[in-house]
């Protein structure tokens, strides 16, 4: 377990703590505690990637854990905000549903032997999501321009979620279609090869059947060796 992966795991374990703090509104200066903890967890996303690249510790485990940690953190915070009445439930359903859909597509792609790379829109969406969550937390009890800005950012998140999901589906479909066509061409080539082999075997058997009577006739017409000597 290297340092970047440990930081990613810490982000996963921080997600339930963020929810606990956000739902405990009786805490003094609740919004600042919530924003501080959420931002600290979100900044680990930048930190673990930076350390992994700088120290040459980019691993398969890190590639798998990083998107999971991001999805857990954002989804947990948004669901907590729905519970508090700070975020529309239908928007959160679209955002969280998109995360599940993309994860499912990546799992299917991995089982088929190819990968779906992260969309640039998906990376930008993470930054907008963090800004929207921070704005919604700070807008509680205040309203005004903070709430309007946070709601506008949430609309942007929904737009990016739908747009990036469309891109993921298009990339997935093109790759799965190519994979299916490749397997079909390979299956046809194997069948053709088998047909050729079977045809060659049938031809060999036919030739063997033709040559076998000839050999037997030659053996029967040849004079015995002893009789030739006697006649001499």
Q: Mean pLDDT, consecutive 10-residue segments, the chain of 232 residues?
A: 84 89 84 89 85 80 81 91 90 90 80 70 79 88 82 90 84 75 75 83 78 62 51 45
DSSP characters over the chain: --HHHHHHHHHHHHHHHHHHHHH-TTSTTHHHHHHHHHHHHHHHHHHHHHHHHHTT---HHHHHHHHHHHHHHHHHHHHHHHHTTSS-HHHHHHHHHHHHHHHHHHHHHHHHT---PPPHHHHHHHHHHHHHHHHHHHHTTT-HHHHHHHHHHHHHHHHHHHHHHHHHHHHHHHHHHHHHHHHHHHHHHHHHHHHHHHHHHHHHHHHHHHHHHHHHHHHHHSPPHHHHHHH-
Query: pTM for this structure?
Result: 0.70
* pLDDT (0 to 100) of residue 82: 92
| CATH fourth-level superfamily of 3-184 | CDP-alcohol phosphotransferase transmembrane (TM) domain (1.20.120.1760)
The residues spanned by each domain of the chain are 3-184
Confidence (pLDDT) at 194: 83
């Amino acid at each position: 377990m290297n340092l970047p992966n440990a930081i990613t795991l810490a982000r996963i374990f921080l997600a339930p703590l963020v929810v606990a703090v956000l739902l405990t509104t009786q805490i003094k200066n609740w919004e600042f505690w919530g924003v501080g903890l959420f931002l600290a967890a979100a900044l680990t996303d930048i930190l673990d990637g930076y350390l992994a690249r700088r120290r040459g510790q980019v691993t398969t485990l890190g590639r798998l854990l990083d998107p999971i940690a991001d999805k857990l953190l954002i989804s947990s915070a948004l669901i907590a905000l729905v519970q508090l009445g700070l975020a529309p439930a239908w928007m959160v359903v679209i955002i969280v549903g998109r995360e599940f859909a993309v994860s499912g597509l990546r799992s299917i792609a991995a089982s088929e032997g190819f990968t779906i790379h992260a969309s640039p829109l998906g990376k930008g969406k993470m930054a907008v999501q963090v800004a929207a969550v921070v704005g919604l937390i700070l807008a509680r009890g205040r309203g005004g321009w903070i709430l309007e800005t946070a709601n506008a950012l949430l609309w942007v998140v929904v737009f990016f979620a739908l747009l990036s999901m469309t891109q993921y589906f298009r990339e997935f479909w093109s790759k799965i279609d190519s994979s299916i066509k490749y397997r079909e061409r390979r299956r046809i080539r194997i069948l053709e090869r088998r047909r050729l082999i079977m045809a060659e075997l049938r031809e060999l058997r036919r030739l063997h059947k033709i040559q076998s009577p000839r050999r037997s006739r030659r053996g029967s017409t040849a004079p015995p060796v002893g009789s030739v000597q006697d006649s001499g």
